[in-house]
Amino acid sequence: MLTVGDLMTRDVITLEETDDLVRVDDLLKLNHIRHLPVVRDGRLVGLVSHRDLIRALSRQMASSGAEPIAVASIMSRDVESVRPDLSVRDGIYKLLDHRFGCLPVVDRDRRLVGIVTEADFMRMAARLLDATQARGREEAEVSAH
């Protein structure tokens, strides 16, 4: 059985609650990503998305002279996470059913061990389609001989 642990990114770029939004923006741009898990002592405590950043920055622009906004004030706290042994099929349905863009992957102690995103599932689907098409071409060549 293919699992989330087989697809997830293991070297996850993370934030701490005390980081500011400039760091969030820098990490998102530099790494071409849309989701940043927030950790405390390696344990998942939240998640900041590109959408959260846009929302927070628009609020900050509305109030002139505002203090920098900390990650802790914009992150989602009740983050749905999964274990690495969850099946890919169940992971896909969790994303679809809840309209998530990513699923942080944690161990039994909620230590962040990876992240799996919509893009990871799309890459897997593309590889499966390529393999299916290649098999179809091979079968067509064999039956033509």
* pTM of the shown model: 0.74
What are the pLDDT digits (tens) for 44-66?
Answer: 999 999 999 988 887 777 676 66
pLDDT tens, 71-85?
898 899 999 999 999
pLDDT in the model for residue 119: 92
Judged against a pLDDT cut of 90, whether residue 109 lies above it is answered with: yes
CATH of the domain at 72: 3.10.580.10
- Taking the C-alpha atoms of residue 22 and residue 138, their distance in angstroms, rounded to an integer, is 52
Containing domain of residue 26, as a range?
A: 4-144
Q: How far apart are alpha carbons 28 and 34 in whole angstroms?
A: 6
- Please give the tally of structural domains in the chain: 1
Give every CB contact of residue 115 below 8 A, 6+ residues apart in sequence.
8, 9, 12, 35, 37, 102, 103, 104, 105
- Helix, strand and coil in the chain, % to nearest 5: 50, 25, 30
Whether the predicted pLDDT of 145 surpasses 70: no
